Structure 1
Amino acid sequence: MYGVRLRKYAPCPMRRSNPSNLPAELNRFVGRDDEMRELRGLLTRFRLVTVVGVGGVGKSRLVLRAAATTEKRYCDGVRLAELAPLRDSGLLEQAVLDALGLTDHTRRSPREVLAEHLAGRRMLLVLDGFEHLVDECADLVRELLRRSPGLTVLAAARCPLRLDGEAVLPLAPLPDDDAVRLFTDRAAAVLPGARTPDGGPAEGGPADDASVRELCRRLDGIPLALELAAGRLPVLTAAQMLHRLDDRFRLLTGGTRGAPPRHQTLRTAIGWSHELCTPRERLLWARLSVFPGPFDLEAVEYVCGGPDLPADEVLDAVAGLVDRSVLVREETPAGVRHRMLDTVRAYGAEWLVALGDRERMRRRHRDWYMGLASWCELEWFSPRQAEVAVCAAGALPHLRAALELCLEDPEEAHLAQHLAATLWFCWVGCGRLAEGRHWLDRAVAADRGHDEARLRALWVLGYVAILQGDDTAALAALYECREGAARTGNALAGAYTTHRLGCLALLSDDMPRAEELLTRALSVYRELGELNSQVLMGQVELAMAKVFLGDAETAVALCREVREVCEDRGERWTRAYALYVLAYSAWTRGAYGEARELLGECIAVDHAFNDLVGLVLAVELLALVTAAEGDPAEAAVLQGTAVPMWEAVGLPLFGSGYFGAPRALCAQRAGEELGAERFRSCLAEGGALTLDAAVARALSGRPPLDRVPPGRVPPRRARPW
């Protein structure tokens, strides 16, 4: 039982995976010494610890600090799943998968993948902000703890999970002295000259004012309220803030009936921050509440602008909200973004409802991100492909909100079909098959009255289902799409359907059927003038069928053409698959150096796009090349690195027949030269590497040994082994 206390804890001798994804602290951690000691002690005795308290009391900061200071206890590191932005309970497991850095292409449920991944690991999983998903989260945590004896869960929310064996730590506001210390520290950050050379608050600064202690007492020591108050010091003294709390915001102190007094006080603190804003800043604050995640300025200008807030004044309003600590500026892989704390966003949302403008703003938000998705799809076939991948990943909270809004109204479900299909590159090219399947299934089930959007969603659904190994669902979607395309005369939808059926035949080892279907689809693409990453992928898939059938010359010609087009357009994702086929052909000719060079580029690109399908195929072919070069030990290590990749991709999908042949031949060659025991040892060495370490090992470019045996080039026949 997971609630049993842990009597003794031995530190881990080494790490086997990414240590953590905890965010760096942006300012000093102040106070909470007693709570920190108690929390760290609970983590040595319990496998589930939940810190609870009112909004703004500092739960998240405390658990993140505790996780960072206990990280060395966990061999497999600490991973943070921030659940506050998640609104769809159906994506809970996927959100935890994302936090763990896992990608899965199989038909297994995300929960099953999580349980299998965590089963043999000693890890601390931090769950933050799940109060709106408490029942679903409790069910997930219960199962993970039962199936993963080395897992510890540290949670932060406004309510506990109420599971057997859960240790609950209620977090109270800061005591008076710590509250003053926190206020003074934050004040020194916003007031020029308020810090001494050693970084502490200057003598005679804000902390010396008796009004500060009274203000901290009136704000009940709630950290968020104190930090908001400190942010007002450039324009108001502590005494002036006390006056405003007494007079101008008396109506805000009541709160809702039955609300805890401290929650009412927090509302007051946010309320007077709201009052200090200009009218346009308040309006922007309310409208920004429709953004569930970090956002950029262009999105704000489109969604929030209007006659009462001209676009050219939005920048100043954003700057004002940043100055008042309502917005937080952060650097992301996609560039500078701004975000709101959840409590601040909730306050703005209430004002937006009071203004009667919530639904209009939600639709403007949806329209912007539908446009962004269309732009991303177009730019995917361009030199900006990597930028598109980063952009889409950063926009996921907004794209989810857009999809959810479309699905709320049956009259707009066709928009969900259009959006879910437009994002095919995100689901397939960026390793998010499970989430793509979630939205495509819902969208297809919601509407049957819009042929064009539905047909597109159907063939994308078929594509995703094929890559998950769900042939039944894939065939159902593709057959419906084929019938609809014939009925409506939609030749393009028919071509994509034929293409995907050819892909299914390819993965089913039916090479003649794959060759026939892919050739037919490519012919229609040419007639219609269709050219994009998917069309080129169809040409690569045809080349795969050709090379597996022994026609290496045609396969090479097809892939060289793809490579030229990709280089002209700046496309990298499809190009990586073309390089795989060219490397395969080079291996059959005994051109091992050429094959290694091609595979190195292929692996780098697949890893950058988180495409585990392409990555694992390339790594296993590289292992075979390495064995042929005369280094069976390194070949076995490389083959071992592929084992955890296959766990995510699904071995039955690509693991037998033609695609599995490099693995079988490498195992035979390396096993014969190393012996069974050494071969297993090398496999285990590779399997213990993290994904990043495995890729680095593959790209290390170890030179072949001096004694390279003659290459055993297989004869040409239907199956080149």
Structure 2
Amino acid sequence: MRKYAPCLMRRSNLSNLPAELNRFVGRGAEIRELQGLLTRFRLVTVVGVGGVGKSRLVVRAAAAAEKRYCDGVRLAELAPLRDPGLLEQALLDALGLTDHTRRPPREVLAEHLVDRRLLLVLDGFEHLVDDCAGLVRELLRRCPGLTVLAAARCPLRLDGEAVVPLAPLPEADAVRLFTERAAAVLPGFRTEDGGRVEGDDSVRELCRRLDGIPLALELAAGRLPALGVEQMLHRLDDRFRLLTGGTRGALPRHQTLRTAIGWSHELCTPRERLLWARLSVFVGPFDLEAVEYVCGGPELPADEVLDTVAGLVDRSVVLREETPAGVRHRMLDTVRAYGAEWLAELGDEERMRRRHRDWYMGLATWCELEWFSPRQAEVAACADSALPDLRAALELCLEAPEEAHLAQHLAATLWFCWVGCGRLAEGRHWLDRVVALEPGHDEARLRALWVLGYVAVLQGDDTAAVAALYECGEGAARTGNALAAAYTTHRMGCLALLSDDMPRAEELLSQALTAYRELGELNSQVLMGQVELAMAKVFLGEPEAAVALCREVREVCEDRGELWTRAYALYVLAYSAWTRGAYGEARELLGECIAIDHAFHDLVGLVLAVELLALVTAAEGDPAEAAVLQGAAAPMWEAVGLPLFGSGYFSAPRVLCEQRAGEELGAERFRSCVAEGSALPLDAAVARALSGRPLDRVPSPRGARTRARRGGRPG
């Protein structure tokens, strides 16, 4: 049984706090209080009603405290998360970690944080409070340098927790916030310092009536293009009596916020109200195409959705933002929850959730097809942006036993997200759940089984891989599913390759490729099978055959615009070039390979390429730089799981580089250079590999992805 190291791979940027889009107003005393508490407590939780400004405050306080934490500040936004089983994965994502191993994510988190001084900001966990409390308790106990700053509607109730209730803004700050936001949406609206506006007494009265709740004030400011302050006061009087019922025993501030949002709702047109309710089924960012499909209908024609969305943006109900996947929209959690209540009142929740599920199943299918195309980088960014809603679609499928086949189909269709975009652990989570469902539709189940086998192979979990692939093979034989049989053979060949059984790998991979040709199957996975066969051949001393296979793959990839598999073909070609002593050719091939792997955050391909580049560098006569690159690969191996690719044939470049560079540098200098490389964050390590010199900062690979315009997608 193999043992695996935890994921310790992180990027250069020590903070992922969002940039402020408008000026922060007030809260000076609260920020100073939080600064003081963070020096005395390791867990500080800001609590308060929705819309009171908890999220903005903790982000501001965390940014002010950032210099105290040598390992940075990381924000985990938990409001979109619905599955408690993904809580640890959400924190891994927030920390910028990638884990390809099969270790429990909680262990990975603890081992990463155990010797670091870091501030972790948790926002919006009230719906997961019990699970979150257990995780935070364990991390704080095991990681003495960790401090947690949290924001939610309720505390975690843990020993040592400092709880800070957040009150609404005092009148002066409330007026300042309102007038600043008003000036932004209504040219000519002047602040108090700039002169009277409709009577400052009216502004102060409005702020008092809204209890100084920032969200309510911002919503009110957003209404100014349509209504004056006096008109808003008059309408607010009417709406208090109409909308303050709420739940029995609700706090007045909850009622006030509900009134403010409900009043904003009443000011919307009927179509805007209907769209607001329907948009509540989206968990994360959404684009216009998704809204047109999910929310359109006889009452809201698709050709009028754009104008209706624009109206909600103008009213500050929907927010517009630029993402690596393009323009997206989203709703604040409080606003979305209000819309969800109206959707339930309309009796349309189930239908909207199913339309949402159907859209994201279609999106997943489109992404899988376009993965084998020039849009591959765009697909990766799209899947990353859509992940919260893809999770929601999976959860809906899992709720109904009769729809098990849909859950299996969706989890399997997302193989490119799990394998190609560095999300093996999450993929394993979903695949384990869907194959545990009662057997039903054979085709969907067989596909989920071989994808599970694929993920388990890459995690080094041989037992689970063999079990899934054996069941898939039996099912394929029973039902006559030749394609499932071919994929089963392929993945068994991949398992043999990673187990250093090259003759068996060559046999199985050859069989799978023959079956693919007979079936007319051609995609990234088929090409990867050809690359894997080339790896087996180069390790068996057949470099010419390996080169021929990879050149063919390279040509197909260039013709189709495929990048991910192309990178692995480049690796094998570089390996062959190194064996021939063509070091310049090998370096050029590896440079392209590393750039692609880094863009897709594929640590498996990346670490193999960096280690081979280290050996090439040593062969070129620069043992010190070779040792630095060797050291830079070490944290990547810990993320991948060193024993998975770390013995036998795959370890040869590392062993040879260590011998060659170690002999030329001497043991002490070699260790020093390796330590220098090991200390490099991921982005800096890649920059060093590509340029030969250290860079302080390079762009995030996900942010650098292509932002090509997307065409039509299946719904």
Confirm whether residue 203 of structure 1 aligns to residue 195 of structure 2. Answer: yes
Partner of 1:10: none
What runs of 5+ residues in structure 2 fail to find an aligned partner?
1-9, 695-715
Partner Cα separation in structure 1 for residue 80 and residue 392 of structure 2: 10
Confirm whether residue 352 of structure 1 aligns to residue 334 of structure 2. Answer: no
The equivalences for 1:441-456 within 5 A come to 441-456=432-447
Confirm whether residue 231 of structure 1 aligns to residue 222 of structure 2. Answer: yes
Identity %: 89
Residue type at the aligned position of 1:202: G
Partner Cα separation in structure 2 for residue 476 and residue 53 of structure 1: 49
The equivalences for 1:234-245 within 5 A come to 234-245=225-236
Partner of 1:587: 578
> How far apart are 1:701 and its partner, in Å?
4.5
Partner Cα separation in structure 2 for residue 663 and residue 146 of structure 1: 37
Residue type at the aligned position of 1:684: A
> How far apart are 1:297 and its partner, in Å?
0.5
> How far apart are 1:152 and its partner, in Å?
1.1
CA contact (8 A) 1:607 1:695 kept: yes
Confirm whether residue 578 of structure 1 aligns to residue 569 of structure 2. Answer: yes
Residue 395 of structure 1 aligns to a residue in which SS? helix
> How far apart are 1:248 and its partner, in Å?
3.8
Q: 2:133 aligns with which of 135, 138, 143?
A: 138
1:194 to 1:238, Cα distance in 2 relative to 1, 3 A: closer
Residue type at the aligned position of 2:677: G
> How far apart are 1:202 and its partner, in Å?
3.0
RMSD of the TM alignment (CA)?
1.3
Residue 464 of structure 1 aligns to a residue in which SS? helix
The equivalences for 1:264-663 within 5 A come to 264-663=255-654
Partner of 1:681: 672
What runs of 5+ residues in structure 1 fail to find an aligned partner?
1-14, 704-721
> How far apart are 1:467 and its partner, in Å?
0.5
Confirm whether residue 180 of structure 1 aligns to residue 175 of structure 2. Answer: yes
Partner Cα separation in structure 2 for residue 689 and residue 18 of structure 1: 12
Residue type at the aligned position of 1:412: E
Partner of 2:88: 93
Residue 509 of structure 1 aligns to a residue in which SS? coil
Alpha-carbon deviations, 1:125-165, whole Å to 9, x = none? 11100000111111111111122221111110011111111
Residue 116 of structure 1 aligns to a residue in which SS? helix
> How far apart are 1:195 and its partner, in Å?
5.2
> How far apart are 1:193 and its partner, in Å?
2.2
Partner of 2:144: 149
Partner Cα separation in structure 1 for residue 18 and residue 236 of structure 2: 34
Higher RCO, 1 or 2 (CA under 8 Å, sep at least 6)? Answer: 2
Partner of 1:4: none
Partner of 2:20: 25
> How far apart are 1:251 and its partner, in Å?
2.3
| Higher mean C-alpha deviation, range 456-465 or range 185-194 | 185-194
Partner of 1:699: 690
Residue 446 of structure 1 aligns to a residue in which SS? coil
Residue 49 of structure 1 aligns to a residue in which SS? strand
Partner Cα separation in structure 2 for residue 23 and residue 222 of structure 1: 22
Alpha-carbon deviations, 1:332-384, whole Å to 9, x = none? 11111111011100100000000000000000001011001000000000000
Partner Cα separation in structure 2 for residue 430 and residue 205 of structure 1: 53
Partner Cα separation in structure 2 for residue 604 and residue 670 of structure 1: 25
Confirm whether residue 124 of structure 1 aligns to residue 151 of structure 2. Answer: no
Confirm whether residue 76 of structure 1 aligns to residue 76 of structure 2. Answer: no
**How many residues get paired?**
685
Residue 149 of structure 2 aligns to a residue in which SS? strand
Partner Cα separation in structure 1 for residue 692 and residue 129 of structure 2: 49
CA contact (8 A) 1:624 1:663 kept: yes
Alpha-carbon deviations, 1:663-719, whole Å to 9, x = none? 11111111111111111111111111110000000000479xxxxxxxxxxxxxxxx
When the two structures are superposed, what TM-score results if normalisation uses the length of structure 1? 0.94
Residue 18 of structure 1 aligns to a residue in which SS? coil
Residue 653 of structure 1 aligns to a residue in which SS? helix
Partner Cα separation in structure 1 for residue 239 and residue 251 of structure 2: 21
Partner Cα separation in structure 2 for residue 201 and residue 347 of structure 1: 35
Partner Cα separation in structure 1 for residue 693 and residue 425 of structure 2: 36
CA contact (8 A) 2:687 2:693 kept: no
Partner Cα separation in structure 1 for residue 499 and residue 96 of structure 2: 29
Q: 1:665 aligns with which of 639, 656, 663?
A: 656
> How far apart are 1:44 and its partner, in Å?
1.3
Partner Cα separation in structure 1 for residue 590 and residue 239 of structure 2: 68
1:701 to 1:682, Cα distance in 2 relative to 1, 3 A: closer
Partner of 1:50: 45
Residue type at the aligned position of 1:587: W
> How far apart are 1:555 and its partner, in Å?
0.4
1:216 to 1:147, Cα distance in 2 relative to 1, 3 A: same
Partner Cα separation in structure 1 for residue 43 and residue 637 of structure 2: 31
Partner Cα separation in structure 2 for residue 699 and residue 686 of structure 1: 14
Alpha-carbon deviations, 1:405-454, whole Å to 9, x = none? 00000001110100000000000000000111111111111130110000
Partner Cα separation in structure 2 for residue 358 and residue 574 of structure 1: 41
Partner of 1:12: none
Residue 164 of structure 1 aligns to a residue in which SS? coil
